[in-house]
A and B are shown apart, each in its own frame.
Chain A
Amino acid sequence: MAVSTPSDRTLRHRLRRLLADNPVVLKELRGRMRGARAFIVLTIYLGLLGAFSSLIYVAVSESATRVSGQVNVGEIGRTLFGGVVAIEMLLVSFIAPAFTSGAISGEREHQTYDLLRTTLLPSHSLVWGKLVSALSFVLLLLLAAIPLQSIAFFFGGVAETEVILSFVILTATALLFSTIGLYFSARSNRTLSASVLTYALATFIMFGLPIVLGSVLWIIEPSLDNIQSAGAERAVIYALGVIISTNPAATALMSQYILVNQRTTGTFAYTLNNGQDMTLISPWVPFTVLYVLLTVVFFVLAVRRVRVIEE
């Protein structure tokens, strides 16, 4: 017979308070999963993902056969996996804010915000409930896509670690983008302006940052090999690491590159021009820490905005 310890009970009690006892979570999930809408969104999402996977498969298998004369199944697997993750990343970065950018401004538009504000529901519970319910659905989308990602296993060339890494990076992306949506939603009276601001920031993080990153790399690359000072080289490499860790796509690509070449998801040694080794960490770690921290910051700002009583 399984006996639950007091700490188990406390944990379960806390989880229950955080998830099940939050009226907003229950209401939002009830509304979101009611009727055919959730089913249709999930079907379209998986349909798109499946169609793209098939396209990638056809394109890669043909080119792989043409180039080497025999099918390199490992390459097909890796490309298929990378393609699915890239599409998921794109979808998640645009679906997650869609669920949250109207979360609080929508209450204002539906004239239910004042009703909620005069209840005993604390501001943090309102924001938390909105976040959890939006993330639950995004998480459902991510979990539902795992079988598609796993098709890559048939071909080999992809390790379970990569699947887990991709899931962590995607979840952290969804977490931050959802919270950014919530923050702008808490600030705006109209969902439209909240959406515009959220998507502007999301687009900058997804596309603007890689452009900045690419430009910086392009400018400094020729001089990288000529850096004589170990300190300067270290500084440049750290700076690059920080830039990579701000972007989910760059983080995913770099983490996979390090996993394949250095066979690690943690730290590894990098040899400087002067022959010294420096220890580096796979970018998914600072990326996850940064995104979780930013999530907390945006969450706190959203709660503060909701808590403010109109002057």
Chain B
Amino acid sequence: MAAYEHIIETRGLVKRYGKLTAVSDLSVQVPRGAIYGFVGPNGAGKTTTMRILTTLITPTAGDAYVAGYSVVTYPREVRRAIGYMPDFFGVYDDMKVWEYLDFFAACYEIPERERPKLIDDLLALVDLSHRREDMVEKLSRGMKQRLSLARTLAHDPEVLILDEPASGLDPRARIEIRELLVEMAQMGKTIFFSSHILADVAEICTHLGIIESGEMVAQGTVAEIRRQLMPTREIMITLLDRVDEAKEALLHVPGVESIQDMPDDHGRKRIRVDFGGDDAGVSEMLKALSSRGVPVVNFAEETRDLEAVFMRATKGIVS
């Protein structure tokens, strides 16, 4: 096992199914302790990547490392290091909630005497202690998802690999799952989770990887990705009149890259300025307008959410 910088790392990962390339030369780098959101449209290659990382399928080329172990050469060590939650909940009929956890704890070679306390702790963590004796199939979808999360923690893994953990849940259950993920990160786990819903990712993740057509479009911390994909700031200016004069004034301010006309807002003129400068530059813009007496009604920087970043990064192509 080599010393490793990233707890998950893929190098030139390729997965082909016949003529279809599901993952193409993919390099994922997840630092220890990160909450890494793996985002992309449906069919982009997220699940394939996760199945390679969890040793369920072998890559066609390249390699993936989890906790320093190659998924190809040391699958057992990788399995010990990961807790995996697929994008479906595997249900066993005729099984109680505690039996479900007990079974998987036994599969992870947790000694029998340690299991009762472990199960109590896990159920308390996911707030299912009161459903301990219920049959698994009777739980709501959100509860099953929480139970599934508890299962991934049974052997105290370093990394949690979660495929669409919030998909198909109602808003309340989604928030609960998000809170649980944050709690698990605070417990020191690295969380690598996929989603095609940006809202799930935006609020909690520290790092982001955007995948499309099997290729990594952008990767890094959320701030880095914003900077990488959206190098300019957007300033929205609303004027009473004298638009041309305002444009003329703004074009002389250093950092202004382009100015676009926007649709009128209740008879008021609007323009959008793409600006590559700093805060002092923004102040200069406002000064330039007021020094010419241009009637400014509103001057504000548009905050670009991840949705915009995502739309800019992806082209809507699905492999």
Any chain B CB within 8 A of the CB of A3? no
Chain B residue at minimum C-beta to C-beta distance from A30: B99
Any chain B CB within 8 A of the CB of A40? no
A112 touches which of B51, B92, B99, B112 (Cβ 8 Å): B92
Any chain A CB within 8 A of the CB of B58? yes
List which A24-55 residues lie within 8 A (CB) of chain B.
26-27, 30-31, 34-35
Any chain A CB within 8 A of the CB of B103? yes
Residues of B within 8 A of A121 (CB): 107
Any chain B CB within 8 A of the CB of A311? yes
Known: A23-B106, A27-B99. A118 touches B56 (CB 8 A): yes
Any chain B CB within 8 A of the CB of A192? no
Residues of A within 8 A of B55 (CB): 117-118, 309
Residues of A within 8 A of B84 (CB): 114-115, 118
Cβ B94 vs Cβ A35 within 8 A: yes
* Interface 0/1 of B187-223, CB less than 8 Å to A: 0000000000000000000000000000000000000
Known: A23-B103, A111-B88, A309-B55. A118 touches B95 (CB 8 A): no
Q: Which of A21, A110, A114, A118 has the most CB of B within 10 A?
A: A118
Cβ A31 vs Cβ B93 within 8 A: yes
Cβ B76 vs Cβ A115 within 8 A: no
Bound-state CA distance A115–B154 (Å) is 13
Bound-state CA distance A115–B101 (Å) is 12
Any chain B CB within 8 A of the CB of A217? no
* Interface 0/1 of A112-132, CB less than 8 Å to B: 111111111100000000000
Residues of B within 8 A of A31 (CB): 92-95
Chain B residue at minimum C-beta to C-beta distance from A35: B94
Chain A residue at minimum C-beta to C-beta distance from B53: A118
Cβ B90 vs Cβ A119 within 8 A: no
Q: Which of B51, B57, B106, B108 has the most CB of A within 10 A?
A: B106
Known: A120-B109, A309-B55. A110 touches B91 (CB 8 A): yes
Cβ B108 vs Cβ A114 within 8 A: no
Any chain A CB within 8 A of the CB of B104? yes
Cβ B54 vs Cβ A110 within 8 A: no
* Interface 0/1 of B119-139, CB less than 8 Å to A: 000000000000000000000
Bound-state CA distance A30–B99 (Å) is 9
Chain B residue at minimum C-beta to C-beta distance from A23: B106
B56 touches which of A26, A34, A120, A310 (Cβ 8 Å): A310
Residues of A within 8 A of B151 (CB): 115
Bound-state CA distance A43–B91 (Å) is 29
Q: For chain A, give the interface size range.
A: 20 to 34
Shortest CB–CB separation between residue B179 and chain A, in angstroms? 24
Shortest CB–CB separation between residue B269 and chain A, in angstroms? 57
* Interface 0/1 of B70-82, CB less than 8 Å to A: 0000011001101
Bound-state CA distance A7–B25 (Å) is 56
A118 touches which of B54, B99, B109 (Cβ 8 Å): B54
Bound-state CA distance A110–B79 (Å) is 21
Chain B residue at minimum C-beta to C-beta distance from A113: B90
Shortest CB–CB separation between residue A124 and chain B, in angstroms? 13
Known: A35-B94, A119-B107, A309-B58. A114 touches B76 (CB 8 A): no
Residues of A within 8 A of B108 (CB): 119-120
Q: For chain B, give the interface size range.
A: 20 to 34
Chain B residue at minimum C-beta to C-beta distance from A121: B107
Shortest CB–CB separation between residue B176 and chain A, in angstroms? 21
Residues of B within 8 A of A311 (CB): 57-58
Bound-state CA distance A21–B107 (Å) is 10
Residues of B within 8 A of A34 (CB): 94
Cβ B56 vs Cβ A309 within 8 A: yes
A119 touches which of B57, B79, B92, B94 (Cβ 8 Å): B79
Known: A27-B92, A31-B93, A31-B95. A117 touches B86 (CB 8 A): no
Any chain A CB within 8 A of the CB of B89? yes
Shortest CB–CB separation between residue B189 and chain A, in angstroms? 16
Known: A27-B99, A115-B104. A310 touches B57 (CB 8 A): yes
Residues of B within 8 A of A310 (CB): 51, 56-58
Q: Which of A35, A117, A120, A311 has the most CB of B within 10 A?
A: A120
Bound-state CA distance A119–B79 (Å) is 6
Shortest CB–CB separation between residue A240 and chain B, in angstroms? 48
Please report B residues at the A interface, Cβ cutoff 8 Å: 51, 54-58, 75-76, 79-80, 82, 84, 86, 88-95, 99, 103-104, 106-109, 112, 151, 155
Please list the 7 inter-chain residue pairs (A to B) with the smallest Cβ-Cβ separation, ordered nearest first.
A112-B90, A23-B106, A119-B107, A31-B94, A121-B107, A310-B57, A111-B90
A-B contact pairs, 22 of them (CB 8 A): A23-B103, A26-B103, A26-B106, A27-B103, A30-B95, A31-B93, A34-B94, A35-B94, A110-B92, A112-B91, A114-B54, A115-B151, A118-B54, A118-B56, A118-B79, A118-B82, A119-B104, A120-B76, A120-B109, A309-B55, A309-B75, A311-B57
Given contacts A31-B95, A111-B90, A118-B55, 9 further A-B contacts (CB under 8 A): A30-B99, A34-B94, A110-B93, A117-B56, A118-B56, A120-B109, A309-B57, A309-B58, A310-B58
